[in-house]
Chain A
Amino acid sequence: MNLTLKVWRQSGPTDSGHFETYEATDVKDEMSFLEMLDLVNENLIDSGHEPITFDSDCREGICGTCGLMINGQAHGPQKGTATCQLHMRKFHDGETVTIEPWRAAAFPIVKDLMVDRSAFDAIIESGGFITSDTGGPRDANEILIPKAAADTAMDAAACIGCGACVAACPNGAAQLFTSAKLAHLNLLPQGQVERWKRTEDMVETMEMFFGSCTNYGECQEACPKEIPIDFIAMMNRDFLKSKIKNRKLQGQR
């Protein structure tokens, strides 16, 4: 198939950026979206033009490196699918495809389709962990975890940190990302000791960078791992609790 691409080109953070139009010819159904872009880039290099800068790495939908706005949708039209796992059979011959970077105040554009998502790392750094220095923990099977709790924690932990939730949100909010990590850790017995401090720290750090949540729900639609907004409700509840907890009596639930 042949496609017309409208691709966002921006030479650096201070450049205002613009769309360029490219023809993608001889695109095969079996190609992934990024392989299609590889092909366009090869042709650009052949014709002496600088290739389009975009991030990608594992191309298995797990590292979270890639992420493009495709026709205005984060990661494109296929539900539960990261850009690298999107295949060209989802497009048709003659179509015009618009490709942009994530658009969010907290994710400044570095070049072309590459953005800086270090604000996510800042959220994790503020509390997205269970303090457990290496060395002599108790036997793994001494901590019993109900299967349902372990499964739900895993549902949340499946987040790949790609930023699609933020890009899809009209407010540029990071509630889904933050709540997924909080749910992962707060649902587990090991996570209880630091639960309230963690919640407070991560939410407040999130708010330093990102917009506010007004329940659009676009985030869960865009999430390649289909993480539900139920976790946001859990985070809100925990945040409220964290504010009224008497920390000295933390042992009391």
Chain B
Amino acid sequence: MSTITLDSKIPSGPVEERWENHKFNMKLVNPANKRKFTVLVVGTGLAGAAAAATLAELGYHVKCFTFHDSPRRAHSIAAQGGINAAKNYKNDGDSVKRLFYDTVKGGDFRSRESNVHRLAEVSVNIIDQCVAQGVPFAREYGGLLDNRSFGGSQVSRTFYARGQTGQQLLLGAYQALMQQVSLGRVELHTKTELLDVVTKDGVAAGIVTRDLITGDIQSWAGHATLLCTGGYGNAFYLSTNAMNSNVTAAWRAHKKGALFANPCYTQIHPTCIPASDEFQSKLTLMSESLRNDGRIWVPKQFDDNRAPENIPEADRDYFLERKYPSFGNLAPRDIASRSAKQVVDEGRGVGPIKNGVYLDFAESIGRLGENVVFERYGNLFDMYERITDENPMKMPMRIYPASHYTMGGLWVDYNLMTNIPGLYALGEANFSDHGANRLGASALMQGLADGYFVAPNTIGDYLAGLLGKTPVGTDDPAFATSVAAVQDDMRRWISVGGTKSPEYYHRELGKLVWDYCGMARDKNGLEKALSEIPALREEFESNVRVLGDPDGVNQSLEKVGRVADFFELGELMCRDALMREESCGGHFRVEHQTEDGEAKRDDENFSFVGAWEWEGKGSTPTLHKEPLVFETVKPVVRSYK
């Protein structure tokens, strides 16, 4: 047992003054001293690129790492719908307070009030910053910014760039980063993957990476390390994450002592294209914004095999509108997803293998005309048609929920520092702002908030204390030990010489995690998963086949290490889900539901962050609890009826 005490370092005072006061109270590093500090930034998505660019602008020496061939490829690029900000340009009653409130409620009262309030505050600055960079947000004819509404809120506060908001925001951050590269303030390492976090006397000293082109294992020392490495949705194998998205950076940090918080909080996005068969490599998301104008329905009868146009209104069940009259098709993601699962499980699913629900634009086309609907969603319709060969202007889309985002992640304090001093986690890689469920258009907001505005401020407070101290060099034995371990790992995987590919084991693991720790979880299933996952892992470790050489490009070798980490994480997800004897947000325990099938929280016993400590392979991890305190928003039963 260790002696970790979780100190969230939440500033005192009224929630709306905390961030301002904290910024004033933190120590500063003067401009001449900033260049004496080296900061390692791992990952170049919204959080990473924004942080690397901003830290370099401030004068820090930044080394930035991505396993992609260019920073612009990070998976933030695939976010479609938009980014929230409390601008109240629409004069519809929005405010920082309302965005704060919506986010705390949307997270089902399992997030930290102080972090969420800060997020809502800086949301306003993000839009200003992005527009200044030239992000081409949608505009009205008068030249002002346009907004749309999104699930979980009753105001229009979402800024968007067609269906490619993530792309445009990422390109903005990427361009800012490349400018700093050109100025020599950022040293950029592409095709370089983190394989270990190095600590010395419990403090972050740097990282060990593998060059994916040459296979070289290298050491990098820094005064601080920022992990901006995204979420772990690919633990489900089938997800909307990119093929290479993985948990390795966060997980290796976890194995070096960083706590992993709320791993069971995963978000299942309601509007994805249903899988067509076993060979499918990933699922494709259709932006939630479609729910603004699309109506979701299934046939009322079981096994109704009529084509959708032949099913009369009277035989259709618009189940979200029926169950949640005030939010209707815009109910939050977890609720919309679970409702879809319910009707499909009942046998009322649609499509060739009955695994979807309809998202129908006929009514909107009638109301707005084909042109308006196509202008709003044309690129999404095209994408849908390429994949399914069906035209949503002519027949309803088929959608089904899929793993999309993970709210859990590395535990961080208010400064976004993990429990390892000097090691930070930003964006989806941390756990901090979304509680048990993230609202639509809030991931981009959080990634950029952390990267542009939070970490660049809080990191100075830590670095100021290191002034004049020599950092641990890469010649320190701590690095040598880590390099040797990583190299051993590589050789070990290649020497297994089994019969099945890493991809095969990933797929099998994904099935277990999805079946037992997906949209609905129960004690029996989770206990079963906790015996089946380790068994499959043992088979994987003794029967996986990795061909080729550790030197040079070897995609199977890249994959096998990631799958190994997903195995350990998958187990922890189930353990966390089993521990959390309540339902909240994306975590739905079937034992804990109301009479009408809604999630039933247990605030008395589970109003805490569950942060797990690694105790070594095969040992049961230790749970640490950070109590959640709600001073401003009173926890209520989340109702969207």
Chain A residues near B (Cβ < 8 Å)? 12, 28, 30-32, 34-35, 38-39, 41-42, 45-46, 48-51, 53, 55-65, 78, 80-81, 85-87, 89, 110-111, 114, 116-118, 120-121, 124-126, 128-135, 137-141, 143-147, 150-151, 153-154, 157-158, 160-161, 184-185, 188, 190-191
Q: Which residues of B have CB within 8 Å of A38?
A: 279, 281, 503
Residues of B within 8 A of A140 (CB): 87, 127-128, 130-131, 137, 145
A48, A57, A87, A139: most-surrounded residue (chain B CB, <10 A): A57
With a CB–CB cut-off of 8 A, which chain A residues contact B161? 154, 157
Does any Cβ of A come within 8 Å of B144's Cβ? yes
Q: Are A64 and B383 in contact (CB under 8 A)?
A: no
Q: Is the CB of B501 within 8 A of A45?
A: yes
The residue on A at minimum CB distance from B546 is A45
Query: Would you mind naming 18 contact pairs between A and B with Cβ atoms under 8 Å apart?
Result: A38-B281, A41-B501, A41-B503, A56-B243, A58-B73, A58-B78, A59-B243, A62-B167, A63-B74, A111-B552, A129-B176, A130-B133, A133-B57, A137-B129, A144-B144, A151-B139, A157-B168, A161-B70
B284 close to A134 (CB less than 8 A): no
* Assembled-state Cα–Cα distance A45/B545 (Å): 8
* Cα distance, A31 to B389, chains bound together (Å): 12
The answer to whether B69 touches A116, judged by C-beta atoms less than 8 angstroms apart, is yes
CA distance A128 to B133 in the complex (A): 11
A222 to B499 alpha-carbon distance, docked (Å): 40
Q: Which residues of B contact A184 (CB under 8 A)?
A: 134, 136
| Shortest beta-carbon contacts, A-B, top 8 | A144-B143, A129-B175, A137-B132, A140-B131, A132-B132, A30-B276, A154-B136, A57-B242
Segment of B9-17, B178-186, B579-587, B615-623 in the binding face:
B178-186
B77 within 8 A of A: yes
Determine whether the beta carbon of A188 is less than 8 Å from that of B453.
no
A65 touches B129 (CB 8 A): no
B277 contacts the other chain (CB 8 A): yes
B57 in contact with A134 (CB, 8 Å):
yes
CB–CB A117/B547 < 8 A? no
CA distance A133 to B183 in the complex (A): 13
B213 at the binding interface (Cβ < 8 Å): yes
Determine the chain A residues whose CB is within 8 A of the CB of B395 once the complex forms: none
Asked if B89 is an interface residue, CB under 8 A from chain A, the answer is yes
Q: Is the CB of B281 within 8 A of A144?
A: no
Shortest C-beta distance, A11 to chain B (Å), equals 8
Complex Cα spacing A139 to B132, Å: 9
Whether A50 and B547, one on each chain, are in contact in the complex, defined by CB atoms closer than 8 angstroms, is: yes
User: Does the CB pair A85–B383 fall under 8 Å?
Assistant: yes
Contacting pair A158 B164 (CB below 8 A): yes
Size band of the interface chain B makes with A: 35 or more
Contact of B54 with A134 in the complex, beta carbons under 8 Å:
yes
> With A59-B282, A140-B131, A147-B141 known to touch, is A78 a contact of B386 (CB < 8 Å)?
yes
Interface centre among A60, A158, A190 (most CB of B within 10 A): A60
Cβ distance B157 to chain A, nearest Cβ, rounded Å: 13
Select one of B68, B182, B386 contacting A85, CB under 8 A: B386
Question: Are B128 and A139 neighbours in the complex by a CB distance under 8 Å?
Answer: yes
- Near A by CB (< 8 A), chain B positions 454-496 give 456
Instruction: With both chains docked as a complex, state the minimum distance between the C-beta of A164 and any C-beta of chain B, in angstroms.
Output: 15
Residue in chain B with minimal CB distance to A187: B136
A46 contacts B501, C-beta separation under 8 Å: yes
Contact status B54-A35, CB under 8 Å: no
Partner of B143, one of A61, A65, A134, A147: A147
Is B632's beta carbon under 8 Å from chain A?
no
Q: Which residues of B contact A133 (CB under 8 A)?
A: 54, 57
- Name the one of B144, B167, B182, B553 contacting A111, with C-beta atoms under 8 angstroms: B553
Q: How far is the CA of A154 from the CA of B171 in the complex (A)?
A: 12
- B555-A53 in contact (CB<8A): yes
B143→A59 contact, CB < 8 A: no
Q: CA A145 – CA B504 in complex, angstroms?
A: 51
A65 to B141, CA, bound (A): 35
Q: CB-CB < 8 A to B68: which residues of A?
A: 57, 65
Q: If A12-B552, A60-B284 touch, does A81 touch B386 (CB 8 Å cutoff)?
A: yes
The 8 Å CB contact of B78, one of A63, A137, A141, A190, is A63
- Contact of A143 with B131 in the complex, beta carbons under 8 Å: yes
**Nearest Cβ on chain B to A87's Cβ, whole angstroms:** 7
Assess whether B77 is in contact with A58, with CB atoms less than 8 Å apart: yes
- Which residue from A34, A64, A137 sits with its C-beta under 8 Å from B72? A64
Give the shortest distance, in Å, between A10 (CB) and chain B (any CB). Answer: 11
Complex partner residue of B133 from A56, A81, A190, CB under 8 angstroms: A190
Determine whether B365 belongs to the interface, using a CB cutoff of 8 Å to chain A.
Answer: no
Whether B176 and A57, one on each chain, are in contact in the complex, defined by CB atoms closer than 8 angstroms, is no
Bound-complex Cα distance A12 to B503 (A):
24
With contacts A62-B164, A111-B553, A118-B190 taken as known, whether A55 is within 8 angstroms of B69 at the C-beta atoms is yes
Q: Is B92 an interface residue (CB 8 A)?
A: no
Across the two chains, which residue of chain A brings its CB closest to B79? Answer: A62
Least CB separation from A80: chain B residue = B382
Q: Is B2 located at the chain interface by the 8 A CB criterion?
A: no
Q: Which residues does chain B contribute within 8 Å of A55, judged by CB atoms?
A: 69
Task: Give bound CA distance, A224 to B531, whole Å.
Answer: 46
List of A residues within 8 angstroms of B553 by Cβ: 12, 53, 110-111, 114
B78 pairs with A62, CB closer than 8 A: yes
Does B110 have its Cβ within 8 Å of any Cβ on chain A? no
CA distance A78 to B383 in the complex (A): 13
B201 within 8 A of A: no
User: Looking at the complex, which one of B69, B131, B383 makes contact with A137 (CB distance below 8 Å)?
Assistant: B131
A157 to B165: give the CA distance in the assembly, Å.
11
Partner of A124, one of B175, B383, B503: B175
* B631 CB within 8 Å of chain A: no
Q: Is the CB of B139 within 8 A of A42?
A: no
Judge whether B144 and A61 touch: CB under 8 Å. Answer: no
**Counting CB contacts under 8 A, is B31 at the interface?**
no
CB distance from A8 to the nearest CB of B (A): 14
Q: Does B53 contact A (CB under 8 A)?
A: yes
Q: Counting chain B CB atoms within 10 Å of each CB, which of A63, A140, A150, A191 scores highest?
A: A140
Q: Contacts of B382 on A, CB cut-off 8 Å?
A: 80
Counting chain A CB atoms within 10 Å of each CB, which of B243, B456, B547 scores highest? B243
Flag if A63 contacts B75 (CB, 8 Å): yes
> What's the least CB distance linking B17 to chain A, in Å?
20
The reply to whether A125 and B279 form a contact with Cβ atoms under 8 Å apart is no
Q: A38-B279, A134-B452, A188-B136 are in contact. Are A145 and B143 (CB under 8 A)?
A: yes
- As a 0/1 sequence over residues 493 to 511 of chain B, the CB contacts with chain A under 8 angstroms (1 = contact) are 0000001010110000000
Q: Chain A contacts of B130 at CB under 8 A?
A: 140
Contacts of A51 in B (CB 8 A): 547, 555-556
B314 at interface, CB cutoff 8 A: no
Could you list 20 further interchain pairs (A-B, Cβ under 8 angstroms) beyond the known A34-B281, A80-B382, A154-B168?
A: A30-B276, A39-B279, A42-B504, A45-B545, A51-B547, A57-B243, A58-B75, A58-B78, A78-B386, A86-B386, A89-B389, A124-B174, A125-B181, A129-B175, A137-B129, A139-B128, A140-B145, A154-B138, A157-B167, A160-B167
CB distance from A58 to the nearest CB of B (A): 4
CB distance from B631 to the nearest CB of A (A): 30
Interface-centre pick from B140, B279, B503 (highest chain A CB count, 10 A): B279
The CA-CA distance from A81 to B385 in the complex, in Å, is 11
0 or 1 for each of B436-454: is its CB under 8 Å from A? (1 = yes)? 0000000000000000110
- Are B128 and A145 interface neighbours, CB within 8 A? no
Contact B128 A188 (CB under 8 A): no
A252–B542 Cα distance when bound, in Å, is: 71
* B131 x A87 contact (CB < 8 A): no
CB of B299 to closest CB in A, whole Å: 23
Is the C-beta of B605 less than 8 angstroms from some C-beta in chain A? no
From the candidates A41, A42, A87, name the one contacting B387 in the complex (CB within 8 A): A87
A141 contacts B281, C-beta separation under 8 Å: no
